Amino acid sequence: MYRPGMSEAAIRSVVIVGGGTAGWLTAALLARALGPALEIRLIESAEIGTVGVGEATIPQILHINAFLGIAEDDMLQRIHGTYKLGVQLNNWGRLGDSYIHAFGDVGLPLGLLPFHHYWLRSRKRAGAAPLWAYSLNAAAAAENRFGCPDKVPDSPIGGIRYAYQFDAALYARYLRERIPEGAVKRTEGRVVAVNLRGADGFIESLKLESGESVAGDFFIDCSGFRGLLIEGALQTGYENWQHWLPCDRALAVPSARTAPMRPYTQATARSAGWQWRIALQHRTGNGHVYCSRCISDDEAAAQLLANLDGEALDEPRPLRFVTGMRRLAWNRNCLALGLSAGFMEPLESTSIHLIQSGIARFLGMFPDRHCDAVLADAYNRQTRFEYERVRDFLILHYKATERDDTPFWRQCGAMQVPSALTQRIDLFRRTGLIFRDAEELFAETGWLQVMLGQRIEPAHYHPLADDLEESKLQAFLADIRTLVTRAAARLPLHDDFVARLGALPTAAASSAKQERALLRSAP
């Protein structure tokens, strides 16, 4: 597509291979950002299923939805969504342990110091409150309450920070339906061959099973684990991280909706992995992520089904994966997004975020048809940084365990971890200090909650925390607790907040038969 003023080298056509969340989110963002200047074509086959195991998100999704002009209430009604305040993690440090990695602030900074140093000092007193007593998100989650105030009125306390829990297949369909007519051309078909240019190895065209040849200036691979373009054609290579993240299989199964619908995701450690539970309007999403070297598929399925909180609506659906990332996300004139770029288990709900950040980064570095190697190198460095920091955060959950009840957990507790993670743990254990590494995804409060929640105890806190008089310290902490407790109590129940969308199924509509029909109607 050519317009006056465009450079002769400008990219005029982009071909996306694969649908699902990755493909349709990419198409929607390209259409919104570049509009009529770009011809966008998406090729997908109804015969090739999407993985769709991720049904929870993190707060950054609100920014992308705002850019796309998505009205939150309409979206949640259409995709049976609920709200998410964080992730509750059970049995990770020891059997019986439970804590929440809550979004948003914990306490308030005072002077030069983050809040947690004052809290660490206060723990010397008998009856000291837990860290999560100073988090509005955590307090609301504990009572199954939700609201979305920007801040607590007449106080310095910030408001609720939240994300969504939804049916990923329905979200993809919702994105597809919202794209303006004619902005993206969808082609039903299967790619059977990829033709490369002899001179530079760039992708020139794709051959479809129908015999049609599809040419393009740039190609985006959203084909899933197989990486049809980035690996099948360009042989980019894959970096395996299973020695740090040992789970390699998952089983997913829906169960009947139960009440209350928890405004948080649950991740409960099992004997050789962990189980997710995500409350949606029309059902509960469940899955078991596990290490096949430590437990059989049948045993994993039995554990999953024995720990549902409602009737199973289908047979568990298996998924095999290799945790890691593509050596290059951008190779020549091809960009990999979603599972084509890499996979990390959905323990902290990062899958959709990595798709949207990958697209946003690409738009910020949008190339011409020459695809300057310097530009691609910069993209790949930033992508690797993001993936590795997320990887280390996930590894922390496995490494920081005192469980020795199964071979799996003994292996996790004893494993050697990346040096950057070792240094971060050691620094916190000795000094109580946490520093965010550049613009990594998880902030200090996230690292703090996981380390403390899994019994990594600092020997010291910052010495400046001792400058505050004891009476003033106790008053400071008490005031925050009071504000948090009152603010949480004023929030509506999560079920009531969701019900205002007008789409909450009635008890009659929650039967197993109708639930199955809803599930199978998704693309």
Could you give the percent of the chain with pLDDT greater than 90?
90
As a whole number of Å, the end-to-end CA separation of the chain is 30
For the segment(s) 13-55+167-237+324-371, the CATH number from 3.40.50.720, 3.40.140.80, 3.40.50.150, 3.50.50.60 is 3.50.50.60
Is residue 510 pLDDT above 90, yes or no? no
Residue of 209, 212, 211, 213 whose CA lies nearest to 195? 213
Q: Judging by beta carbons within 10 Å of its beta carbon (0-12, 13-18, 19+), is residue 374 exposed, middle or buried?
A: exposed
- Read off the pLDDT of residues 61-97 as tens digits, 9 standing for 90 and up: 999 999 999 999 999 999 999 999 999 999 999 999 9
- Read off the pLDDT of residues 415-474 as tens digits, 9 standing for 90 and up: 999 999 999 999 999 999 999 999 999 999 999 999 999 999 999 999 999 999 999 999
Is residue 6 pLDDT above 70, yes or no? no
CB count in 10 Å sphere of residue 469: 9
* C-alpha to C-alpha distance for 68 and 50, rounded to whole angstroms: 23
How much is the average pLDDT of 45-50?
73
* C-alpha to C-alpha distance for 405 and 272, rounded to whole angstroms: 10
| pLDDT at residue 502, rounded to an integer | 80
* C-alpha to C-alpha distance for 409 and 494, rounded to whole angstroms: 35
When the pLDDT of each residue in the chain is averaged and rounded to a whole number, the result is 93
* C-alpha to C-alpha distance for 166 and 284, rounded to whole angstroms: 10
Cα distances (angstroms) measured from residue 73 to each of 83, 282, 353, 385, 498: 11, 16, 20, 34, 9
* C-alpha to C-alpha distance for 251 and 315, rounded to whole angstroms: 9
Which positions are annotated as active-site residues?
A: 84
Q: 44-53, 76-85, 123-132 — which one is most confidently predicted on average?
A: 76-85
Could you give the percent of the chain with pLDDT greater than 70?
93
Residue with the bigger pLDDT between 387 and 53: it is: 387
SS3 47: coil
Is residue 333 pLDDT above 80, yes or no? yes
Contact 233, 196 (CB under 8 A): yes
| pLDDT at residue 49, rounded to an integer | 60
101 secondary structure, DSSP code: E
| pLDDT at residue 127, rounded to an integer | 86
| pLDDT at residue 516, rounded to an integer | 40
| pLDDT at residue 507, rounded to an integer | 36
Task: Give the DSSP letter string of 189-246.
Answer: --EEEEEE-TTT--EEEEEETTS-EEE-SEEEE---TT-IIIIIIT---EEE-TTTS-
- Read off the pLDDT of residues 469-491 as tens digits, 9 standing for 90 and up: 999 999 999 999 999 999 999 99
What are the strands, taking DSSP E only, across 123-180?
A: 163-165
Is residue 401 pLDDT above 60, yes or no? yes
Band the pLDDT of 50: cuts 50, 70, 90.
low
Q: Which helix (H) or strand (E) holds 325?
A: strand 324-326
- Read off the pLDDT of residues 190-211 as tens digits, 9 standing for 90 and up: 999 999 999 899 999 999 999 9
Is residue 121 pLDDT above 60, yes or no? yes
Q: Which residues of 116-152 are buried (b: 16+ CB within 10 A; e: fewer)?
A: bbbbbbbeeeeeeeebbbbbbbbbbbbebbbbeeeeb
| pLDDT at residue 48, rounded to an integer | 67
* C-alpha to C-alpha distance for 334 and 328, rounded to whole angstroms: 10
Residue of 357, 377, 374, 375 whose CA lies nearest to 366? 375
Is residue 504 pLDDT above 90, yes or no? no
Apex 93 CA angle, 348 and 125, nearest 5: 110
Long-range contacts of 115-120 (CB under 8 A, 24+ apart): 116/432, 116/448, 116/461, 117/432, 117/461, 117/462, 117/464, 117/465, 118/461, 118/465, 118/468, 118/473, 118/476, 118/477, 119/477, 120/432, 120/458, 120/461, 120/465
| pLDDT at residue 302, rounded to an integer | 98
Strands in 213-215's sheet, in edge-to-edge order, are: 191-196, 203-208, 213-215
Report H helices in 241-372.
297-306, 351-364
Residue of 449, 447, 429 whose CA lies nearest to 437? 447
How much is the average pLDDT of 144-169?
94
Is residue 523 pLDDT above 50, yes or no? no
Residue of 409, 357, 27 whose CA lies nearest to 185? 27
Report H helices in 400-443.
407-414, 419-431
- Read off the pLDDT of residues 348-400 as tens digits, 9 standing for 90 and up: 999 999 999 999 999 999 999 999 999 999 999 999 999 999 999 999 999 99
